[in-house]
Structure 1
């Protein structure tokens, strides 16, 4: 039932942009390292930049596995599931890189988002060059009702100063659970 597409075509772009949640999977090069899957949400935090490019906002969190893994080898998969409407799973495979908040190019990457947040609340922009676009049926994915985004993350980060978030990254987001450096 699955199909491989040559690019993110308009119909797939519409599907991606309609999803309130997506998942990011990465793994370190080491076979002993932990595979990581992170749910991402909040509308407007992912943009399709072209037929082979997407980017998403990476907020401060309890870990920084994705950033460490991208620094290690760049491999990433984004997965979108239809929790309403016709069943569908879409995966974007590719190479990602991180544009951290203190990078000179960060402002330009943040400008790719239609309604960008205050720059100090974001840890980085993750940009992905997509080399494979594939779907599958999604017949076993449950039908669920989207209610609303949670605002706790934005509210929490908004109360922190830039200096506090820099300190947070240094103390809590400096290395992956496998000891890989983040920045």
Structure 2
């Protein structure tokens, strides 16, 4: 039976901290719904209704484009190991790019990464748990280092070129604002 909460409680925080990955869901008013798996120590709970997660440069940039259109986000964790639970955090988020004032302060909460593309600062308005009895067991074998090595090899200029050529729009052609309008002037 699902249970709803108005805030992240201590038990929820412990569950989040024990997970090696989470999923982010977002959608604009029209077009495709995006669900992305996330890992690599990219999430911090900063309060009973606040979560930030750092988005690293990758092939798509759907969440940024969706949030620019419709400000809603869902994060989900599954207990793949011992505890059978599914937990979702529902809310709204603001997108911070490296050029934004608060980005550096929040980015400092994570290990340095040349591929840091956005930080999503989420206000949680509801948290829901459900049983997770149908979620299979999976064993955690470790983090992949492919994305970190890729970003390191690209370097700052290569990352910015990648943003410009591959991350400007979503798959539905929505702008992601990864490159500011003043950068194009």
TM-score, normalising length: structure 2: 0.92
2:45 match: 48
2:102 is the counterpart of 1:105: yes
Q: How many residues align?
A: 177
2:168 is the counterpart of 1:174: yes
Query: What do you get for the CA RMSD once the two structures are aligned?
Result: 1.0
How far, CA to CA, are the matches of 1:12 and 1:104 in structure 2? 30
CA deviation after TM superposition for structure 1 residue 173, in Å: 0.3
Deviations 1:140-177 (A, max 9, x none): 10011001011111111011221111110010000011
Of the three residues 118, 121, 125, the one matched with 1:124 is 118
2:84 match: 87
- Aligned to 2:126, the other structure's residue is in SS state strand
How far, CA to CA, are the matches of 1:158 and 1:103 in structure 2? 22
- Aligned to 1:17, the other structure's residue is in SS state helix
TM-score, normalising length: structure 1: 0.93
CA deviation after TM superposition for structure 1 residue 59, in Å: 0.5
- Aligned to 1:97, the other structure's residue is in SS state strand
Deviations 1:113-135 (A, max 9, x none): 2x4223x3201111111001001
- Structure 1, unaligned runs of 5 or more: none
Alignment of 1:1-183 (within 5 A): 1-30=1-30, 33-42=31-40, 44-111=41-108, 113=109, 115-118=110-113, 120-183=114-177
How far, CA to CA, are the matches of 2:125 and 2:5 in structure 1? 10
CA deviation after TM superposition for structure 1 residue 104, in Å: 2.5
How far, CA to CA, are the matches of 1:86 and 1:73 in structure 2? 33
- Structure 2, unaligned runs of 5 or more: 178-185
